[in-house]
Structure 1
Amino acid sequence: MNSWLEVLKPEEIEEIHAASLEVLEDVGVEFQLEEARAAFQAHGARVAGSRVYIPRLLIEQALTAAPERFLLEARNPARSVWIGGGETVFAPPAGCVYVQATGTARRSAVPADYIDLVRLVHQSTHYGTNGGGIVIPEGDFGSDEEKFAWLLLAGHWYSDKPQMGLNLGAKVSRLALDFSRMAFGGRPGCRILGTINPDSPLMFSPEMLASLLIYAREGQGLIVAPCSMAIATSPATLAGTLVVNNAEILAGLTLAQLVRPGTPVVYGNTSTIADMKTMAIALGAPELSLLVLGTAQMARRYRLPSRAGGSLTDAKEPDMQAGLESMLSLLSTVAGGVSIVMHAGGILDSFLTLSYEKLIIDEDTGGMAKRFQRGIEVNRETLALEAIADRGAGGNFLDHEHTLKHFRNEIWRPQLSDREVYQEGRDYQAYTLAKATQAWQKRLEGYSRPVLPEEVEREMLDFYHQRFGSEPVLDV
Structure 2
Amino acid sequence: MNPLLEVLSRQEIEAIHRATLEVLESAGMEFRHPEALALLRGGGARVEGSRVYFNRAQLTQALETAPERFLLEARNPGRSVWIGGATTVFAPPAGCVYVQDLGAVRRQAVLKDYLNLVRLIHQSPHFDTNGGGLVIPEIPGFSEQETFALLILAGHWYSDKPQMGLTLEGEIVRTSLEVSEIIFQRRPGCYLLGTVNPDSPLIYSEKMLESLLLYARAGQGLILAPCSMAMATSPTTLAGTLVQNNAEILAGVVLTQLVNPGTPVVYGNTSTISDMKTMSIALGAPELSLLVGAVNQLARYYNLPSRTGGALTDAKSLDFQAGMESVLSMVSTVASQTNVVLHSAGILDSFLTISLEKLVLDEEIGGMARRFRQGLNVNEDTLAVAEICSRGPGGHFLDTNHTLNHFRQEFWHPRLCDRQAYVPQRDYRSLLGERAHKIWQDRIAAYLRPALPAGVEEELLDYYQRKFHRQPEFV
Normalised TM-score (structure 2): 0.99
User: Which deviations, in whole Å up to 9, do the C-alpha atoms of 1:21-57 show, x marking residues without a partner?
Assistant: 1111110000000000000000111100111001111
How many residue pairs match? The answer is 475
Match of 2:60 in 1: 60
Unmatched 5+ residue regions in structure 1?
none
Match of 2:77 in 1: 77
**Structural mapping, 1:156-167, within 5 Å:** 156-167=156-167
2:260 counterpart letter in structure 1: R
Q: Distance in 2 between matches of 1:84 and 1:307?
A: 10
Match of 1:329 in 2: 329
Q: Distance in 2 between matches of 1:280 and 1:92?
A: 24
* 1:384 Cα offset (Å): 2.0
> What RMSD over aligned residues (CA atoms) do the two structures have, in Å?
1.0
Q: Distance in 2 between matches of 1:304 and 1:266?
A: 6
Match of 2:119 in 1: 119
Match of 1:431 in 2: 431
2:467 counterpart letter in structure 1: R
Q: Distance in 2 between matches of 1:170 and 1:446?
A: 37
* 1:101 Cα offset (Å): 1.7
1:434 counterpart letter in structure 2: E
* 1:188 Cα offset (Å): 2.1
User: Which deviations, in whole Å up to 9, do the C-alpha atoms of 1:74-111 show, x marking residues without a partner?
Assistant: 11011111111111111110000011121332111100
SS class of match (1:244): helix
SS class of match (1:382): coil
Match of 2:299 in 1: 299
Match of 1:341 in 2: 341
Match of 2:466 in 1: 466
Q: Distance in 2 between matches of 1:16 and 1:141?
A: 49
Match of 2:10 in 1: 10
Match of 2:409 in 1: 409
1:387 counterpart letter in structure 2: E
Q: Does 2:328 correspond to 1:311?
A: no
Q: Is the 8 A contact 1:88 1:337 kept in 2?
A: yes
Match of 1:194 in 2: 194
Match of 1:92 in 2: 92
SS class of match (1:40): helix
Match of 1:265 in 2: 265
Q: Percent identity?
A: 63
SS class of match (2:78): helix
**Structural mapping, 1:360-375, within 5 Å:** 360-375=360-375
Match of 1:101 in 2: 101
Q: Distance in 2 between matches of 1:162 and 1:411?
A: 29
Q: Is the 8 A contact 2:284 2:325 kept in 1?
A: yes
Match of 1:33 in 2: 33
Q: Distance in 2 between matches of 1:446 and 1:389?
A: 49
User: Which deviations, in whole Å up to 9, do the C-alpha atoms of 1:230-266 show, x marking residues without a partner?
Assistant: 0000000000000000000001111000111111100
SS class of match (1:428): coil
1:21 counterpart letter in structure 2: L
Q: Is the 8 A contact 1:141 1:147 kept in 2?
A: no
Q: Distance in 2 between matches of 1:385 and 1:89?
A: 37
User: Which deviations, in whole Å up to 9, do the C-alpha atoms of 1:358-393 show, x marking residues without a partner?
Assistant: 000001101101101100001122122333333333
**Structural mapping, 1:131-170, within 5 Å:** 131-170=131-170
Normalised TM-score (structure 1): 0.98
SS class of match (1:429): coil
Q: Distance in 1 between matches of 2:142 and 2:339?
A: 37
Unmatched 5+ residue regions in structure 2?
none
SS class of match (1:287): helix
SS class of match (2:357): helix
Runs (4+) off by over 6 Å: none
Match of 2:183 in 1: 183
Q: Does 2:240 correspond to 1:213?
A: no
SS class of match (2:382): helix
SS class of match (2:30): strand
* 1:471 Cα offset (Å): 1.3
Q: Is the 8 A contact 1:306 1:338 kept in 2?
A: yes
* 1:140 Cα offset (Å): 2.7
Q: Distance in 2 between matches of 1:351 and 1:10?
A: 33
Q: Distance in 2 between matches of 1:381 and 1:461?
A: 57
Moved more, 154-163 or 1-10: 1-10
